[in-house]
A and B are shown apart, each in its own frame.
Chain A
Amino acid sequence: MSNFSPGFHGRTHRFEGRLPPGQYPTESFPVLSAGPTPHVPTEDWSFTVTAEQGRARRWDWEEMMSLPQEEVTVDIHCVTRWSKFDTVWRGVSVDTFLDGVETTADFAVAHGEGGYTTNLPLEDLRGGKAWLVHTYDGFPLSPEHGGPVRLLVPHLYFWKSAKWVTGLSLTLQDEPGFWEAAGYHNYGDPWREQRAWSD
């Protein structure tokens, strides 16, 4: 019997292999945002990919909805330690938006309504690993969860899945985003528990 939390037993079911270190499973869907929730009507929404030489391609809501749609079921992991299994989303693969974009960039910055930014290596957005999603669990994605459209990058901590996503800038240099500049890890792999700068 140690003197650390004597008498603590924890859950009987431990989710081995599915729960990254330091996480716990939740049935609810907590919301984490740094500020008030923007309410963006779909008719005002657009998404712009800007390559490093400044060349831009833009999609409005209807153009995005006419692209090939995918349904994905993934586990998501928030740096505040909750994980949620088997979340079901519908949207467009980021590969589809990047198809035909000329770039030699290694990095990307995702932009969200209200000035939110988060940075990722471009390869983490390619190869069927990331989507722009507009539907959660069969319903339109609500504003507090990032609707009308958010980025979904489930293999990284969820702050990388920018809410209210409006654009993607492809960059030659890595440019830390909002939380990354505020002390959170630059890459954010849940399985290596990369929560803070020093992890």
Chain B
Amino acid sequence: MSAWHSARLVGRREQSRTGRTLLFDVPGWPGHLAGQHVDVRLSADDGYRAVRSYSLAAPARGTGIELGVQTVPGGEVSPYLAHELPVGAEVEVRGPLGGWFVWRPGQEDPVLLVAGGCGIVPLMGMVRSHRLEGSRAPMRLVYSVRDPGQVWYREELTTGTGAAAASRILYTRQAPPGSSRPPGHIGAGDLLPPEGAGRLPVLCFVCGPTGFVEHAAGLLSAAGHAPDRIRTERFG
């Protein structure tokens, strides 16, 4: 768990103005669970090192892993990863990390995923794992963004199958033309359990900026979800 692996950048894709998908090849990668993250370590020529954590956005493909990086203006690490690290060059990664904010494909409980902004990244890992494993657990993703330009994984979420097909994108500031829901913050009516959940207790995963998670987790508590069925991960 604590060993550092070399990770070679093999691809980078733009997700939004500030979001990037980074694909790495990590020889010896042991595999991971949806929702887990890695530490990424950068080294300067003078020996200085900086480490940050990034969520895994997809199940491993052999030794290939996918991370999501949101650029923090003036950040020490994220702008370098998003814009400067050359394809073919290496960083070091440690992981997989985290044992609480994870979804295991064998779980049959209905699942409600609630993402705010770049909080989508680990939850997309769950959506993709659900599809890859052919899970029968009812799963629904509710994804809140400021405006249409901020949607990560747009094509997959709008044309996908499985849990992606049951996803709903909400806009807080500006909605695309023809949207039936006026722009606004996520509300209790947006957080319905997945189709097919019936009366079964739902397992909720909430990820995003602190204010978003406080608000959404509070709505879920008020709707009667037990606190120990609401798992949270907060950014910044």
Measured CB to CB, the residues of A under 8 A from B are: 1-11, 14, 22, 24, 28, 30-38, 80-81, 114-115, 144, 179, 182-183, 195-199
Q: Which of A4, A14, A31 contacts B92 (CB 8 A)?
A: A4
Listed by A's residue number, 7 A-B pairs whose Cβ atoms lie within 8 Å are A1-B45, A6-B89, A24-B52, A24-B76, A35-B227, A38-B227, A114-B227
What is the count of residue pairs linking A and B with beta-carbon distances less than 8 angstroms?
Answer: 110
Is the CB–CB distance between A144 and B230 below 8 Å? no
How many chain B residues sit at the interface, stated as a range, is 35 or more
Is the CB–CB distance between B218 and A37 below 8 Å? yes
Q: How many angstroms between the C-alpha atoms of A37 and B99 in the bound complex?
A: 20
Is the CB–CB distance between A144 and B214 below 8 Å? yes
Q: Which of B1, B43, B48 contacts A198 (CB 8 A)?
A: B1
Is the CB–CB distance between B43 and A31 below 8 Å? no
Contact A5:B42 (CB < 8 A) given known A30-B210, A183-B1: yes
Encoded as 1 (CB less than 8 Å from any A CB) or 0, chain B from 194 to 213 comes to: 00000000000000001001
Name the CB-closest residue of A to B101: A34
Is the CB–CB distance between B217 and A31 below 8 Å? no
Measured CB to CB, the residues of B under 8 A from A are: 1-2, 6, 39, 42-45, 48-53, 76, 80, 84-86, 89-92, 97-101, 210, 213-214, 217-218, 220-221, 227-228, 230-232, 234-236
Name A's interface SS: loop
- In the complex, what residues of B have CB within 8 A of residue A144's CB? 210, 214
Is the CB–CB distance between A182 and B53 below 8 Å? no
- In the complex, what residues of B have CB within 8 A of residue A31's CB? 210, 213-214, 234
Is the CB–CB distance between B236 and A4 below 8 Å? no
Contact A5:B91 (CB < 8 A) given known A36-B217, A36-B227, A37-B214: yes
Is the CB–CB distance between A30 and B234 below 8 Å? yes
Q: How many angstroms between the C-alpha atoms of A81 and B236 in the bound complex?
A: 11
Q: How many angstroms between the C-alpha atoms of A1 and B44 in the bound complex?
A: 9
- In the complex, what residues of A have CB within 8 A of residue B101's CB? 34
- In the complex, what residues of B have CB within 8 A of residue A35's CB? 217, 227-228, 230-232
Is the CB–CB distance between B50 and A10 below 8 Å? yes
- In the complex, what residues of B have CB within 8 A of residue A33's CB? 232, 234
Is the CB–CB distance between B2 and A36 below 8 Å? no
| Least CB distance, A168 to chain B, in whole angstroms | 22
Rank and list the top 10 A-B pairs by shortest CB-CB distance, nearest first.
A36-B217, A5-B42, A182-B99, A198-B2, A31-B210, A10-B48, A8-B42, A183-B99, A10-B44, A4-B43
Q: How many angstroms between the C-alpha atoms of A9 and B79 in the bound complex?
A: 12
Contact A5:B80 (CB < 8 A) given known A35-B227, A199-B2: yes
